[in-house]
Chain A
Amino acid sequence: MTDTALTSSTLDAAQRDALIARLTALADDELILSHRDAEWVGHAPILEEDIALANIAQDELGHAGVWLSLRGDLDGSDPDTLAFRRDAGEYRSARLVELPRGDWAFTLVRQFLFDAYEAVLIDETCASTYAPLAEAARKIVREERFHLQHTALWVERLGLGTDESNRRSQAALDELWPHTPQLFAPVPGEESLVAAGIVPDLAGVQARWTPLVTAHLARSGLRVPATPSAPPAPRTEHTEHLAELLREMQEVARQEDPGTVW
């Protein structure tokens, strides 16, 4: 490992490509999840929660912007073009975030699982040898701590609240859990980034994430399902929900030529 922080000009070609892939995955997860969260605005169970979920959606969108602009530094791409002109096949989001928002329990359980993943991942990314990534991670990790506190609080209350809320939370967890291994699957070429200390090793992230979430879920009266043994699908394969989501998301932007300023 080198003491000198890496910059975009000191990465080799393989690292550059892999980092572009990793940043895209990070951005797409945030973009799609933000969309799902934003669907709740105006429909939350109580006014205060409309505000809370809008807060989360905003923060995630901001993170997506950060990852996309880091990618833009590497390949000259434009964040808006990436967000609004790529088809589903070109997106690299995880299946977990694409699933429809479901009921409140589904949204909060998913958010909790994802927030915990992000908290651990971004925390470890603060030590990245690639300076721009480390800097971005340090800023983002601050918000993630609050998000995790917020969603963990909700999971506990829904899990322990009433029979109905427990039933719904369990159903949500049963459906979501099998999709979580994909979060920890490396993108193509990621090993070279890990070797250079540019990104953390996802196996290590998973090893921290698993006890963290299982302990909290158990405390919340929820049963953690079995983890599927089959290898997770690659991020190039999507649920049938993504195309429909993107159709809506890109509807207005695509009325005009790429590069139009909206």
Chain B
Amino acid sequence: MNETSAPEAPSGETQHRETQWPRWEVLKQDAPARPHQAVGSVHATDPEHALVTARTLFARRPSAVSMWVVPDHAILARTQEQDERGEPLPDTAEGEAQPYVVARKVNHKRSMTFVDVVGTVTATSPARALDLARATFPEPPALAWWVFPDAAVTRTDDTPETVESWFAPAKDKTYRQQSSYGVVGTHASERRGRRAAAPAGEQSGGEHD
């Protein structure tokens, strides 16, 4: 399923009895009109824990109105390069028809997020869902796909109360925003030996997630 194969060279003796918590991919919606976007993952033991952890990790800086978590094993991921190379899809079993969420990446632009959700298709397996997704969302050509059962998604409530308590408070914490510090010391443009581009220190002022 989710491509994390090709192991590293064997690790040394594990001296620490470890419990590896499952991994959940996190999708965040910045505003009501925007799609859910893959922002990273969290390790957690159950869906509620994953959601609470995702909020702590990814909603620190505004904005967000909704968050989803999906266990990584529920995702069928596929890249254009795998298609071109003809790598076979992993075996997926046929089952009952159910909705699959479809997400895609369409360009190589520098970004904080990976795939964007574009919609859902109904299919009897992840492989079929991927086929249907290709047919349903052909433009622009996708560089990467994710399909995963809608049933595997755990979501924050859409209620105003949840948005108020989960996401809104971060907006007031302006001390986390570099823009609230203004220009500290001299502005980049005043420094001698500057090239055309100012360093990221001054330039990323508008950047937010």
Interface residues of A (CB under 8 A from B): 46, 48, 51-52, 55, 58-59, 62, 139, 142-146, 149-150, 153, 157
Check A48 against B43 for contact (C-beta < 8 Å). yes
Nearest residue in A to B54 (C-beta to C-beta)?
A48
In the complex, 7 of the A-B residue pairs with CB atoms within 8 angstroms, ordered by the A residue number, are A48-B44, A55-B56, A55-B60, A142-B164, A142-B169, A149-B52, A153-B49
**B166 on interface, CB distance cutoff 8 Å:** yes
Which residues of A sit under 8 angstroms from B166, Cβ to Cβ? 146
Check A139 against B172 for contact (C-beta < 8 Å). yes
Q: Is the interface of B mostly helix, strand, loop or mixed?
A: helix
Which residues of A sit under 8 angstroms from B43, Cβ to Cβ? 46, 48
Question: Number of B residues whose C-beta is below 8 Å from A?
Answer: 21
The smallest C-beta distance from A102 to any residue of chain B, in angstroms, reads 22
Q: Which of B36-68 contact A (CB under 8 A)?
A: 42-45, 48-49, 52-53, 55-57, 60
Which residues of B sit under 8 angstroms from A52, Cβ to Cβ? 52-53, 56
The smallest C-beta distance from A152 to any residue of chain B, in angstroms, reads 10
**B165 on interface, CB distance cutoff 8 Å:** yes
Separation of A59 and B165 alpha carbons in the complex (Å) = 12
Separation of A157 and B42 alpha carbons in the complex (Å) = 18
Q: Is the interface of A mostly helix, strand, loop or mixed?
A: helix
Separation of A146 and B51 alpha carbons in the complex (Å) = 11
Check A157 against B55 for contact (C-beta < 8 Å). no
Interface residues of B (CB under 8 A from A): 21, 42-45, 48-49, 52-53, 55-57, 60, 161, 164-166, 168-169, 172-173
Check B169 against A150 for contact (C-beta < 8 Å). no
Check A46 against B21 for contact (C-beta < 8 Å). yes
Check A51 against B57 for contact (C-beta < 8 Å). yes
Separation of A17 and B76 alpha carbons in the complex (Å) = 64
Separation of A218 and B98 alpha carbons in the complex (Å) = 38
Separation of A143 and B168 alpha carbons in the complex (Å) = 9
Separation of A119 and B52 alpha carbons in the complex (Å) = 18
Check A145 against B161 for contact (C-beta < 8 Å). yes
Nearest residue in A to B169 (C-beta to C-beta)?
A143
Nearest residue in A to B43 (C-beta to C-beta)?
A48
Which residues of A sit under 8 angstroms from B49, Cβ to Cβ? 153, 157
Check A142 against B48 for contact (C-beta < 8 Å). no
Check A142 against B165 for contact (C-beta < 8 Å). yes
Check B44 against A146 for contact (C-beta < 8 Å). no
Check B42 against A48 for contact (C-beta < 8 Å). yes
Nearest residue in B to A156 (C-beta to C-beta)?
B48
Which residues of B sit under 8 angstroms from A55, Cβ to Cβ? 56, 60
The smallest C-beta distance from A219 to any residue of chain B, in angstroms, reads 14
Q: Which of B45, B55, B60, B172 contacts A146 (CB 8 A)?
A: B55
Nearest residue in B to A140 (C-beta to C-beta)?
B169
Nearest residue in A to B42 (C-beta to C-beta)?
A48
